[in-house]
């Protein structure tokens, strides 16, 4: 059944060989899996360059800041001491899609990595709705180049210390510097006045004194007028779009003390944060998609005889360490491995599509046994994020395989309580619990600017709306508030209502 000679046998690679193997992978990715990808640009880098890339959020360009140097120092020490290995690749959500491959990789690893990054991640970046909605793959590199130049120019002009102060403060608020929802554009003041004028005009035109004689009508009219008045008095608040959950955006637009260049730097930090926000919400899906794709492509290459048994074994070894999920009581346990969960779920979708059990038919009537797993997966990759994906697609079999169980931890309770396990009565509960864990709002605090007393002492009020009653960590809170104070210029208050 071997249609081809193996493309390579040894561990060595060179550029013509990479190109040939890429061609074979591309054939499977585009013609078999029917993936839809940005053009690929593959760059071979050395370990030190990988460390460089690590420290700047994996981006090829980034403005300078000491915190990146700190990451670099730590990673370098870890790497040199052999405590941690470097990633095999980094891939950037841009058009063309840039993938960095390490020069140390063997040819098998390069093949795996190309399948993983250039087709798996690339397809996900191009098709997932979050990335389509929130990131601009065409422009990101240009924007980073601009921001790097801009920050450097500011350092030149205003001093590195001044720039550092702003960046430090902005970085502490990075998680509060993203828009989570699109909103309709707020009408400008002129538009609102125009609307009010039209309304009054309509009322005048359609005035009929008879309505005044109806009981209760007069009161309504005056209430209406009062609300118009109030609209004028709280005009400032309304203009500032309060409440506002994007704190950096709010400070950028409304801080009374910042200079223009400082506002621009806030904007840079905010845009970087926004660019990475979809990645934070799709870790399981993104890695799962890439892992599933590389697994499929490598197996297909093997079936076609394009890679040999030796390579296949090497691939299996590295693939199985990537998708390993240690149990909670294992010393290696460090949370749920997104590669493991994502890959397990996507493989299971394929299984359910092809060979469903009665249980699967009951749980997934939409696609169980339909056979077209490519479409099901592509639909999932395009239209879900981790939370909704788990809520929709986590099957009892995967829960059983991973032996998942949910534990409730009340701060007041002396014990943890097992809330659900992988059994008939627990599946749905477990699935909901797990999905909720991947909802960023459950582990990132919900913090909003709710008031800015611009007419008085200019106090800024921030509110933390507790989710399930969990408060903010004390020490960090005060440290972050100092930074908010620096950016706002006047006193800042944080409310944390009990429920």
The pair of three-digit structure tokens given for residue 38, joined into one six-digit string: 């940005």
The pair of three-digit structure tokens given for residue 457, joined into one six-digit string: 């002492």
To the nearest whole angstrom, how small is the minimum distance from the Cβ of residue 351 to another protein? Answer: 19
Q: Closest by alpha carbon to 172, among 269, 278, 277?
A: 269
To the nearest whole angstrom, how small is the minimum distance from the Cβ of residue 206 to another protein? Answer: 51
To the nearest whole angstrom, how small is the minimum distance from the Cβ of residue 406 to another protein? Answer: 5
Query: What size, in residues, is the chain?
Result: 499
- Pick 367 or 488: Cβ nearer another protein: 488
To the nearest whole angstrom, how small is the minimum distance from the Cβ of residue 101 to another protein? Answer: 9
Between strands 40-45 and 97-102, the pairing is parallel
Peptide bond into 57 cis (omega under 30): no
- Pick 39 or 358: Cβ nearer another protein: 39
The pair of three-digit structure tokens given for residue 443, joined into one six-digit string: 């582990």
To the nearest whole angstrom, how small is the minimum distance from the Cβ of residue 415 to another protein? Answer: 4
| Secondary structure class of 96 (helix, strand, coil) | coil
Between strands 492-495 and 460-465, the pairing is parallel
Residues linked to residue 492 through DSSP beta bridges, in sequence order: 460
Between strands 460-465 and 89-92, the pairing is unpaired
- Pick 73 or 218: Cβ nearer another protein: 73
Contact of 242 with 450, CB cutoff 8 Å = yes
Peptide bond into 96 cis (omega under 30): yes
- Pick 353 or 448: Cβ nearer another protein: 448
Contact of 419 with 406, CB cutoff 8 Å = yes
To the nearest whole angstrom, how small is the minimum distance from the Cβ of residue 390 to another protein? Answer: 10
- Pick 309 or 411: Cβ nearer another protein: 411
- Pick 45 or 454: Cβ nearer another protein: 45
The pair of three-digit structure tokens given for residue 139, joined into one six-digit string: 């422009």
Q: Which positions ≥6 away from 324 have C-beta within 8 Å?
A: 337, 340
- Pick 83 or 181: Cβ nearer another protein: 83
- Pick 159 or 187: Cβ nearer another protein: 159
Task: Tell me how many degrees the CA angle 250-256-261 measures, rounded to the nearest 5.
Answer: 75
To the nearest whole angstrom, how small is the minimum distance from the Cβ of residue 94 to another protein? Answer: 13
The CA-atom distances, in angstroms, between 24 and each of 6, 28, 41, 367, 467 are 11, 7, 16, 30, 50
To the nearest whole angstrom, how small is the minimum distance from the Cβ of residue 160 to another protein? Answer: 8
- Angle, helices 283-303 vs 373-383, to 10°: value is 150
DSSP single-letter state for residue 367: T
To the nearest whole angstrom, how small is the minimum distance from the Cβ of residue 422 to another protein? Answer: 7
Contact of 341 with 402, CB cutoff 8 Å = yes
To the nearest whole angstrom, how small is the minimum distance from the Cβ of residue 287 to another protein? Answer: 16
- Pick 344 or 352: Cβ nearer another protein: 344
- Pick 39 or 456: Cβ nearer another protein: 39
| DSSP one-letter string for 277-301 | HHHHH-HHHHHHHHHHHHHHHHHHH
- Pick 218 or 418: Cβ nearer another protein: 418
To the nearest whole angstrom, how small is the minimum distance from the Cβ of residue 347 to another protein? Answer: 16
Give the separation between CA 446 and CA 463, rounded to whole angstroms. Answer: 8
Sign of CA dihedral 114, 118, 119, 125: positive
């Amino acid at each position: 059944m071997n249609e081809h000679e193996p493309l390579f046998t040894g561990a060595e690679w060179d550029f013509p060989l990479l190109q040939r193997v890429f061609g074979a992978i591309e054939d499977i990715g585009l013609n078999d899996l029917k993936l839809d990808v940005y053009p690929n640009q593959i760059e071979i880098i050395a370990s030190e360059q990988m460390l460089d890339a690590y420290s700047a959020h994996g981006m090829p360009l980034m403005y300078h800041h000491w915190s990146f140097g700190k990451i670099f120092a730590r990673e370098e020490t870890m790497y040199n001491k052999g405590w941690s290995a470097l990633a095999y690749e980094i891939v950037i959500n841009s058009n063309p899609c840039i993938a960095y491959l390490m020069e140390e990789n063997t040819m098998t690893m390069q093949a795996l990595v190309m399948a993983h990054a250039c087709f798996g991640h690339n397809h996900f970046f191009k098709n997932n709705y979050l990335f389509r909605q929130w990131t601009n793959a065409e422009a990101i590199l240009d924007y980073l180049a601009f921001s790097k130049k801009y920050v450097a120019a500011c350092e030149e002009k205003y001093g590195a210390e001044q720039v550092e102060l702003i960046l430090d403060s902005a970085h502490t608020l990075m998680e509060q510097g993203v828009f989570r929802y699109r909103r309709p554009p707020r009408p400008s003041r002129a538009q609102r006045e125009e609307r009010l004028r039209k309304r009054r005009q309509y009322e005048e035109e359609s005035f009929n004194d008879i309505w005044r004689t109806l009981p209760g009508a007069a009161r309504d009219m005056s209430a209406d007028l009062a609300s118009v008045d109030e609209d004028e008095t709280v005009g400032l608040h309304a203009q500032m779009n309060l409440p506002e959950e994007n704190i950096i955006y709010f400070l950028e637009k409304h801080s009374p003390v910042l200079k223009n260049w400082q506002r621009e730097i806030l904007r840079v930090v905010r845009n970087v944060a926004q660019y990475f926000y979809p990645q934070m919400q799709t870790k399981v899906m993104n890695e799962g998609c890439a892992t599933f794709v590389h697994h499929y492509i490598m197996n297909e290459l093997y079936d076609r005889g394009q890679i040999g048994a030796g390579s296949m074994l090497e691939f299996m070894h590295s693939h199985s360490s990537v998708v390993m999920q240690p149990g909670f009581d294992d010393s290696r346990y460090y949370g749920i491995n997104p590669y493991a969960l994502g890959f397990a779920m996507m493989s299971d979708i394929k299984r359910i599509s092809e060979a469903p059990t009665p249980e699967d038919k009951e749980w997934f009537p939409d696609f169980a046994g339909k056979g077209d797993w490519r479409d099901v997966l592509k639909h999932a990759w395009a239209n879900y994020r981790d939370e909704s994906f788990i809520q929709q697609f986590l099957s009892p079999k995967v829960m059983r395989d991973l032996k998942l169980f949910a534990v409730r931890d009340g701060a007041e309770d002396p014990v943890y309580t097992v809330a659900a396990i992988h059994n008939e009565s627990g599946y749905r509960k477990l699935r909901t619990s797990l999905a909720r864990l991947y909802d960023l709002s459950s582990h990132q605090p919900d913090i909003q600017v709710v008031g800015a007393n611009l007419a008085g002492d200019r106090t800024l009020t921030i509110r933390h709306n507790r989710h399930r009653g969990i408060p903010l960590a004390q020490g960090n809170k005060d440290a972050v508030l100092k930074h908010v104070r620096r950016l706002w210029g006047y006193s800042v208050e944080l409310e944390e209502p009990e429920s």
